[in-house]
Amino acid sequence: MRLLAFGQTGQVARELAALGVQTIGRADADLTDPEACAALIDASDAEAIINAAAYTAVDRAEEEEALARRVNADAPGAMARACAAKDVPFVHISTDYVFDGTGRAARGPGDATAPLGAYGRTKLAGEVAVREAGGAHVILRTSWVFSAHGANFVKTMLRLGSERDRLSIVADQVGGPTPAHAIAGACVAMAGQLGRSPGKTGTYHLAGAPDVSWADFARAIFAGAGLPCAVEDIRSSAYPTPARRPMNSRLDCTATEAVFAIPRPDWRTGLRDVMRTLESAA
């Protein structure tokens, strides 16, 4: 199946390229120009489109919401409409930030959304635009993405853990760390199945298992790397950020496995793979 993915330098885009998917970056597809993205789809012979590109600077989005909306909502909407016009499946990556993070239960795809900040609002607007386009699509919400590429929590912890003997890490935010490789694989599988069965159109979740706090995730990273850095649990209020983070990022992924036969990835296995990749590159 000929696949085309928007995004080239991001974590999921890098993993899509490793799977043989053609990826396009900013030089060829500027997401601040939604109609140019749509025109690129019009001219493509791809059999399915994946959008792995986004404005992801969560804190900066508080000051740049208009730009974030252009990239996270207007561009995916234009892509989805172009795909619908050609009857081409569209897979779009979204986020747990569309929820308010209250409670302790895992959020399902149909649960009420209530984003806490600009990033979540723009990603939710993108979901709405994709649905309103009316074509065969999958909106895949995910969380806490990590890989051997780019900037992410795992790489930050490995760096800080090698420099310090103690770190204070937020312990009251809980979610599922998700390997970018697993997200990429899910996007490819979903695009293929959607092409054969457009009735699978809808919103789905994919997050790593088991759910864990940031502090316990950090402990697992240090243990896997053999770093003696100790972790002190702190509350989110002790580490204020411009944008509020969801306290509960647990995602119910049962529909993803039921419809697409894609189970939740074990982040511990993904973490070992990432560490091996980073060690071999050192």
Condensed to tens digits (0 to 9), the pLDDT of residues 101-156 reads 999 999 999 999 999 999 999 999 999 999 999 999 999 999 999 999 989 999 99
Q: Is 119 part of the annotated catalytic residue set?
A: yes
C-beta separation of 58 from 115 below 8 A: no
Residue 95 has pLDDT above 90, yes or no: yes
H or E segment at 255? helix 254-260
Query: How far apart, in whole angstroms, are the C-alpha atoms of residue 135 and residue 65?
Result: 27
Contacts of 258 (CB under 8 A, 6+ apart): none
Residues of the chain with pLDDT > 90, as a percent, come to 95
Percent of the residues in the chain that have a pLDDT greater than 70, as a whole number: 100
Beta bridge partners of 212: 175
Mean pLDDT score of the chain: 96
Please give the CATH number for the structural domain made up of 3-281.
3.40.50.720
The residues with which 231 forms a beta bridge, in sequence order, are 167
Euclidean distance between CA atoms 181 and 86, whole angstroms: 28
CB count in 10 Å sphere of residue 183 = 24
Average pLDDT over residues 180-201: 97
Active site residue: 55, 97, 119, 204, which one? 119
Strand pairing report for 230-234 and 145-146: unpaired
Query: What pLDDT does 282 receive?
Result: 67
The three-class DSSP label of residue 242 is coil
pLDDT band, very low/low/confident/very high, at 64 (cuts 50, 70, 90): very high
pLDDT tens digits for range 210-263: 999 999 999 999 999 999 999 999 999 998 899 999 999 999 999 999 999 999
Find the helix packing angle between 153-163 and 267-281, rounded to 10°: 60
Amino acid at 151: A
Beta strand pairing status for 212-213 and 174-175? antiparallel
pLDDT for the residue numbered 26: 86
pLDDT at 281: 78
